[in-house]
Structure 1
Amino acid sequence: MAGLLAIRIWVVEPAVVDSDSMEPTLNPGSLVFVFKAAPQLSGIHPGDVVVFQSPEDNSTVIKRVVAMGNQTVEVRDAVLFVDGVAPDEPFVDYKSIDGTHFSLRHVPPGEVFVMGDNRERSIDSRDFGTLPLSSLQGLVLGAGR
């Protein structure tokens, strides 16, 4: 029993998705598993889906890392550009966000820029800014890049 408790505290913890900001990748009510040791063991990479405390209200939030420190981010007519290149994002519904823009921003070293896959409904780094890597609590397993 102590081993299971230790695994949950330090390694993997279940979480329930409570918003639609990551649809269609993660639906509200879905159970996900958070690999809590990932930031320290394997690092965080663009495309990873991560968990952190919201800088706005301290709630637990799940978003996708779209850019790392020393990269630039902007949204032109709904399309994300990282360092001037549009990454492949088949999960984004561009028709629902057509015409949206976000001016060019530099991600400071040691920080990440996160966005929800449901760009129309997501409150993310476009609203609250970049996040320190140290604030990431884990990687959502199985959410894929």
Structure 2
Amino acid sequence: MQLETKHKKNWLKELREWTVSLGIAVAVAMLFQTYVYAQSEVQNVSMQNTLVAGQRLIEDKWSYHFHEPRHGDIVIINGPESELRLIKRVVGIPGDIIDMHDGDVYINGEKLDEQYVKGQTFAGSVTLPFTVEEGQLFVMGDNREHSLDSRAIGPISRSSIEGKAVFRIWPLPKFGTLNE
């Protein structure tokens, strides 16, 4: 009888240890996904040919706590500017003067060399030249003729930037870092 009781106590202790370990692992994984790295899926065509619908990305939510977004970063936007979660490229940072003519983008008077762009760039509803203010970013999709971006919805608040897309995990033939 004592052996049975001892065996039952060991089994309950083992179950309790596994439950606590599993609970800690789930909590750490949830915190990691919420605050450090997360998986995102491309939902639209605004970043073609760089990114296409259905591709899965790793999003870095951590590094922008240590530095500001930079020109060319591909960012994930989740804020009041749009009902949708957007993936766009940072074109202008605070202090930049954005201008567009003849299908090209100019930052502070210098024409951007944007080999990743599909189509021509037109101003949309934004008044040009446009100066990016402190706390804002000017973002555009790489598929310039089919992108809901700062040209239509205005600048994006820095606080609306959820993270930076850094790695493509699906489809497997495209697996790897994002070439900016």
Greater mean deviation of Cα atoms: 55-64 or 129-138: 55-64
Q: Which consecutive residues of structure 2, in runs of 5 or more, have no partner in the other structure?
A: 1-24, 167-176
Which structure is higher in helix share? 2
Give the residue type in structure 1 aligned to 2:158.
L
Q: Which consecutive residues of structure 1, in runs of 5 or more, have no partner in the other structure?
A: none
- 1:10 aligned to 24, 27, 35, which one? 35
RMSD of Structure 2 on Structure 1 (CA): 1.7
Call closer, same or farther: CA 1:135–1:66 in 2, change over 3 Å: same
> Matched residues in 2 for 1:57 and 1:39: separation?
21
- 1:60 aligned to 49, 64, 85, which one? 85
Q: Counterpart of 1:97 in 2: which secondary structure?
A: coil
Alignment of 1:25-40 (within 5 A): 25-40=50-65
* Bigger RCO of structures 1 and 2 (CA < 8 A, at least 6 apart): 1
> Matched residues in 1 for 2:61 and 2:35: separation?
6
Distance apart, 1:62 and its partner CA = 0.3
User: If you compute each CA radius of gyration, which structure gives the higher value, 1 or 2?
Assistant: 2
Alignment of 1:70-109 (within 5 A): 70-93=95-118, 96-97=119-120, 100-101=122-123, 103-109=128-134
Distance apart, 1:33 and its partner CA = 0.9
Aligned to 1:117: 142
Q: Report if the CA contact (8 A) 2:37-2:58 is conserved.
A: yes
Q: Report if the CA contact (8 A) 1:74-1:81 is conserved.
A: yes
> Matched residues in 2 for 1:64 and 1:71: separation?
15
Q: Counterpart of 2:110 in 1: which secondary structure?
A: coil
Distance apart, 1:120 and its partner CA = 0.6
> Matched residues in 2 for 1:69 and 1:53: separation?
19
> Matched residues in 2 for 1:78 and 1:4: separation?
45
Aligned to 1:143: 178
Q: Report if the CA contact (8 A) 1:38-1:44 is conserved.
A: no
TM-score using structure 1 length: 0.90
Call closer, same or farther: CA 1:17–1:135 in 2, change over 3 Å: same
State the identity as a percent.
Answer: 30
Aligned to 1:51: 76
The number of residues matched between the two structures is: 142
Q: Counterpart of 1:26 in 2: which secondary structure?
A: coil
Which structure is higher in strand share? 1
Q: Report if the CA contact (8 A) 2:80-2:160 is conserved.
A: no
